[in-house]
Chains A and B, each alone.
Chain A
Amino acid sequence: MSQPRKVYGLGAEFDSAASLMAAAEKIRDTGFAHWDVHTPFPIHGMDKAMGLGKSKLSAAVFVGGLMGLLTGVLLVTIPSFVLYPIIVHGKPYNWATAPAFFPIIFELTVLFSAFTAVGTMFAMNQLPRLNHPVFNWDRFKRFTDDGFLMVIEARDAKFSESRTKALLEEIGGKNVTLIHD
């Protein structure tokens, strides 16, 4: 364990999903930018309460899917028409047989999309990242049980140790704690 150094931010606990959401709306309206709520499960409507839009993940997955589609098309057509045309039972082997390629093209589209979805989600969420300043807060563990937590980062322009602490307490935050880096 290294000696606590810089202040990372302030953490606060809330009673319930409802009070956390109300608090998030206030923090959003105050104009904070670098903050997050940590919850045991995704809370419906929290994106709006935090002023966050729709996740851009789907755009990445669309591109991944297109790459899979393209890979599939090239993978089946190049060997079948150029490198190694196979005639089985005297069946046709021209372009009219394209439907026979659809299953593999489809599977590769799904495969690439799925890997893109997971890979991009990890990248966007900065996973895996095994150590993070928030883990230094001893009550942080409660978020995987029944804790509804909020952390405001010190790098936020509006952050001030005393005033932000007062604000968090005013909007219903309990055990407001300074988190060190």
Chain B
Amino acid sequence: MSKTSFTLETPKELVRPPLVDHNRSISWVTDKVSDIVESPTPKWWLIALCFTVPVALMGLVCIIYQISNGVGVWGENHPNGWAWDITNFVFWIGIGHAGTLISAVLFLTRQKWRTSINRAAEAMTLFAVVCAGIFPAIHVGRVWYAWFLAPIPNTNAIWPNFRSPLLWDVFAVSTYFSVSVLFWFVGLIPDLATLRDRAKSRFGQIVYGALALGWRGGNRQWRHYEMAYLLLAGLSTPLVLSVHSIVSFDFATSVMPGWHTTIFPPYFVAGAIFGGFAMVLTIMLPASRIFPQLNDMITRSHVDKMAKIILLTGSIVGYAYLMELFVAWYGANKFEGFTFFTARAAFNGKGWYQWAYWIMMFCNVISPQIFWFQKMRTNYIVVFIVCQFVNVGMWFERFTIIVTSLAQDFLPSSWGHYSPSTTEILTFIGTFGIFLTLFLLFMRFLPMIAISEVKGVTPEADPHHHHPKH
């Protein structure tokens, strides 16, 4: 390919627009990204922390209250053994998947535009998984027995059931978190070295210096580094698909009407990417307003592309919703038919949570269709509003799946209403505080954009480019 490019002139319409606008030099990239970390603490950041930290603390208080009093402080009761807890778990873990998709899948498919957003998206993954992990951990009740889940020889000679999807979940989520941390940290090393070399204070030099591990950027290092990065991307890709497939197995391997379907794994994965991209944009759009100096790196074209992915995955999710309805009708199973056509997709009030189903339908399937229009995809306000619909819709998707199936299952005599308790609601709100606090800390102390990767996609980085802008 490179051989022929000497003789063939690329046609004008095929020339790709540069990924960094205004033909910026690579030292411009260093300056703009490092500047966020190095400049004095901005006021908005402190004000934002004043909101998020109390919310996070409120969440922690609720968690402590729940642990010390038992799961009874939540609204869960027979037959709704699962409700907001697992809804929140699936909601947060799904959000995390967009970060891995951007960092791993788009890396493998050589989508170079990912470089300016992957760092923040991966950070979002980690913080979302932290929030997700809280719920399954505390919903077991006696959290001090959580070690029973670990396959370790113990004095009772009891082993976990390795055929149980709930144990698969433990392995999947913990592996996912570990691998995401590794991937994120490996990506950070060269940029930490940048901060180390720019640090003015002794403290900064020591901290960033230690974290950069003595990175020297030699090509003899880069070649192993690049191989490790490629392999981590290759490992993360099937991993992210497996994690949400396994989360869906929690439901799909049971016999509950509305859960017992084979479409769940792909449907959950598409939904996770869908909801995750909405959360990436929810964070990125305000960030691009706060840091206008980054707008040459996080461009309208990024928002446009992400909106397209939301449209695509939203449509896949819509297809899955319709296919569930079709199979419920075609399969002619009375109980499944009841779950789909009475408990969920109807307006007659016989199902207690029909409103949740229609919120989900509107937010996830109808609202993203506006992204067929390019004007809408590049309008930040429209994109932001649609993303909020998607965030809400994806939460309601999990709520619909979990609660409608459990509340009104086979026998009307075993039906039971569910409504959340205050503690439960505040715990969920608290996880947003935890998530946003962690993200604010990340924005302030670590390079928000992968500096070395963005440099690598500038024209200057091309070894055949002979006109450096020095």
Contacts and interface: CB of A to CB of B under 8 A. Distances in A.
Interface in B241-255: 242, 246, 249
A44 B455 CA distance: 13
Contacts of B160: 79
B221 A17 contact: no
Looking at A45, A83, A115, A117, the one whose CB has the most chain B CB atoms below 10 A away is: A117
Nearest to B157: A84
B388 interface: no
B11 interface: no
Contacts of A151: 218
Given A37-B219, A103-B171, A103-B172, A130 B214 contact: yes
A14 B462 CA distance: 15
B225 A110 contact: no
Given A37-B218, A145-B27, A43 B461 contact: yes
B381 to A, nearest CB: 35
Interface in B194-248: 194, 196-198, 209-210, 213-228, 231-232, 235-236, 238-239, 242, 246
Contact of B213 (A15, A40, A124, A130): A130
A15 B26 CA distance: 12
A58 interface: yes
Given A15-B470, A40-B26, A75-B151, A134 B216 contact: yes
Contacts of B451: 40
Given A111-B175, A146-B26, A128 B217 contact: no
Contacts of A141: 197
B231 A52 contact: no
B69 interface: no
A17 B461 contact: yes
B25 A146 contact: yes
A103 to B, nearest CB: 4
A129 to B, nearest CB: 4
B249 A103 contact: yes
A111 B178 contact: yes
B453 interface: yes
Contacts of A111: 175, 178-179
A43 B221 CA distance: 12
Given A55-B224, A58-B231, A146-B26, A97 B217 contact: no
Contacts of A117: 182, 228, 231-232, 235
Nearest to A40: B455
A82 to B, nearest CB: 10
A95 to B, nearest CB: 12
A41 B228 contact: no
Contacts of B310: none
Contacts of B242: 103, 106-107, 110
Interface stretch (B161-169, B332-340, B408-416, B428-436): B161-169
B157 A110 contact: no
B190 interface: yes
B116 to A, nearest CB: 14
A46 B219 contact: yes
A114 B182 contact: yes
The list of the 10 closest CB pairs from A to B, nearest first, reads A128-B213, A121-B228, A79-B159, A36-B218, A100-B163, A41-B456, A16-B468, A55-B227, A42-B222, A84-B159
Interface of B: 25-27, 30, 151, 157-165, 167-168, 171-172, 175, 178-179, 182-183, 185-186, 189-190, 193-194, 196-198, 209-210, 213-228, 231-232, 235-236, 238-239, 242, 246, 249, 451-453, 455-456, 460-466, 468, 470
Given A39-B217, A117-B182, 5 more contacts: A37-B219, A52-B220, A107-B168, A107-B239, A117-B232
